[in-house]
């Protein structure tokens, strides 16, 4: 072997070693994060628009796989197993790619993912401090809105955290009722825009506030459905993730404040949060334009709305307690007129966290909304466990 050949061989070996070390230094390129979340429960009674039913059941059990694809892209897949109408369903909640190296604070996400509108929606439901999403989420977003689409996001170079973005989705689960299966829905049905700003409040606190808008091209009822409303008892939706009440325009305001001594959340912290939704332009165009009012009461109101306020206090490393109140005001078509509906929920939860990966929760819910979706006033007890197996990323703010 000549000296020249020996030098080339040495350089090749060194390059191979450097390449191997570079890959090994970023384990997410070769070792994806794999996790499973087990969610089981017992519930003493039915709740309106809830994915959880009376008795024993399987909640939002998920399997997740995520990793950096290379230095330019990140990918994630989340499959969900849950019960619906007595059947076990396997669904795909997330399957997206995300850019990692776009300039100027921009990023793009494409595939199936959780919309970034509001505060709770972009968080997985197993991270919640209560067994179910607030009634307003269940009514207007199908508990949590995920869809196939694309997002453009921008983080501004400011002292305060400030992000904004736009999204476009298929919108299948946000469609209005289709009694006869003959509607010509738009294939690109939902557009959103949002902005969020936040910062620190002294050494112990931090906050975030947001505004969101959702345009639903397929959200308004038609005159034909209005005339044949007798078939609308189930709102024309065949899946629990579909929005139960829709409209063309949805406006959302949200706020959250978090407190922890010296910013250390491990031993003690308090979270205060709230959101307000208003949904407009849901009546058939003919009736809406004529301002036709039938029946009685406030049925002529041209919007639906809902809100909640939540307080969760972790008073020790292993125990937390939560209090949440919310209500939703919707309108249901009956014959040739709309009847107002109101649902109020007061919820108290107590949770034991043996570790960051295990939670056992006892929750009491008082629901008031006689005949709201056929559910009477009731008191509901829920016992739930949420257990995480494997690597699991940090939760949203």
Query: Phi, psi at residue 220, to the nearest 5°?
Result: -90, 140
Task: Reduce the DSSP state of residue 145 to 3 states and report it.
Answer: coil
Q: What is the pLDDT of residue 338?
A: 80
pLDDT in tens, 249-272: 999 999 999 999 987 878 899 999
Question: The domain containing residue 156 runs over which residues?
Answer: 100-369
Is the pLDDT at 11 greater than 50, yes or no? Answer: no
DSSP string of 239-303?
A: STTS-SS--SEEEEEEEEEEE-GGG-TTT-EEEEEEEEEEEE--S-HHHHHHT---SSTTTT--E
For residue 374, is it left (φ>0), alpha (ψ between -120 and 50) or beta?
A: left
CA-to-CA distance for 147 and 168, rounded, in angstroms?
Answer: 9
Contacts with 290 (C-beta within 8 Å, 6 or more apart), sequence order? none
128 within domain boundaries: yes
CA-to-CA distance for 234 and 205, rounded, in angstroms?
Answer: 44
387 within domain boundaries: no
Mean of pLDDT values over 238-258: 87
93 within domain boundaries: no
User: Is residue 29 very low, low, confident or very high in pLDDT (cuts 50, 70, 90)?
Assistant: low
* CB-facing half-sphere around the CA of 276: CA atoms within 13 A: 5
184 within domain boundaries: yes
Query: Phi, psi at residue 151, to the nearest 5°?
Result: -130, 135
Closest among 386, 370, 298, 380 to 347, alpha carbons compared: 380
Total number of domains in the chain: 1
Closest among 167, 158, 26, 38 to 100, alpha carbons compared: 26
CA-to-CA distance for 118 and 147, rounded, in angstroms?
Answer: 15
Q: Average the pLDDT over each of 130-139, 168-177, 384-393 and give the range with the smallest value.
A: 384-393
In the numeric block, the tokens 């008795």 are attached to: 55
Query: Phi, psi at residue 287, to the nearest 5°?
Result: -70, -40
339 within domain boundaries: yes
Closest among 185, 182, 171, 362 to 250, alpha carbons compared: 171
CATH assignment at residue 281: 2.40.160
55 within domain boundaries: no
389 within domain boundaries: no
Beta bridge partners of 271: 258, 312
149 within domain boundaries: yes
CA-to-CA distance for 286 and 318, rounded, in angstroms?
Answer: 57
Mean of pLDDT values over 368-378: 79
Name the residue with higher pLDDT: 120 or 298. Answer: 120
Instruction: Give pTM, 2 decimals.
Output: 0.86
Q: Which residues of 103-136 are buried (b: 16+ CB within 10 A; e: fewer)?
A: eeeebebebbbbbbbbbbbbbbbbebbbbbbbbb
User: Is residue 375 within 8 Å of 46, Cβ to Cβ?
Assistant: yes
238 vs 47, 169, 172, 306, 308, CA distance in Å? 17, 20, 11, 23, 27
User: Is residue 379 within 8 Å of 366, Cβ to Cβ?
Assistant: yes
Contacts with 197 (C-beta within 8 Å, 6 or more apart), sequence order? 160, 161, 162, 163, 208, 209, 210
pLDDT in tens, 103-150: 999 999 999 999 999 999 999 999 999 999 999 999 999 999 999 999
User: Is residue 251 within 8 Å of 212, Cβ to Cβ?
Assistant: yes
């Amino acid at each position: 072997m000549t000296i020249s050949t020996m030098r080339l061989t040495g350089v090749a070996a060194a390059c191979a070693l450097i390449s191997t070390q570079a890959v090994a230094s970023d384990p997410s390129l070769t070792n994806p994060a794999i996790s499973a979340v087990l969610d089981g429960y017992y519930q003493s009674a039915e709740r309106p628009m809830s994915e959880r039913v009376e008795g024993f059941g399987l909640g939002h059990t998920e399997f997740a796989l995520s990793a950096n694809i290379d230095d330019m892209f990140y990918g994630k897949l989340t499959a969900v197993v849950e019960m619906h109408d007595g059947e076990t369903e396997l669904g795909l909640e997330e399957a997206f790619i995300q850019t990692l190296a776009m300039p100027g604070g921009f990023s793009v996400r494409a595939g199936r993912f959780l919309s970034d509108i509001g505060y709770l929606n972009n968080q997985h439901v197993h991270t919640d401090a209560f067994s179910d999403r607030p009634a307003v989420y269940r009514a207007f977003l199908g508990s949590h809105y995920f869809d196939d689409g694309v997002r453009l996001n921008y983080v501004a170079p400011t002292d305060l955290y400030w992000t904004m973005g736009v999204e476009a989705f298929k919108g299948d689960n946000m469609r209005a009722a289709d009694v006869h299966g003959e509607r010509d829905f738009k294939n690109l049905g939902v557009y959103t825009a949002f902005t969020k700003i936040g910062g620190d409040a002294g050494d112990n606190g931090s906050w975030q506030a947001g505004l969101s808008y959702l345009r639903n091209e397929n959200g308004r009822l038609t005159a034909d459905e209005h005339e044949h409303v007798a078939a609308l008892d189930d709102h024309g939706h065949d899946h629990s993730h579909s929005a139960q009440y829709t409209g063309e325009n949805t406006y959302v305001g949200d706020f959250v404040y978090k407190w922890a001594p010296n910013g250390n959340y491990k031993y003690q912290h308090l979270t205060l949060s709230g959101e307000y939704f208003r949904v407009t332009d849901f009546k058939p165009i003919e009736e809406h334009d004529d301002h036709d009012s039938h029946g009685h009461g406030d049925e002529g109101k041209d919007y639906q709305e809902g809100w909640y306020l939540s307080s969760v206090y972790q008073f020790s490393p292993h125990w937390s307690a939560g209090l949440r109140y919310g209500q939703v005001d919707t309108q249901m078509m009956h014959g040739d007129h709309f009847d107002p509906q109101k649902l109020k929920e007061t919820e108290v939860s107590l949770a034991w966290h043996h570790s960051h990966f295990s939670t056992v929760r006892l929750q009491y819910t008082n629901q008031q909304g006689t005949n709201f979706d056929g559910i009477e006033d009731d008191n509901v007890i829920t016992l739930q466990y949420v257990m995480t197996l494997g690597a699991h990323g940090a939760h949203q703010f």
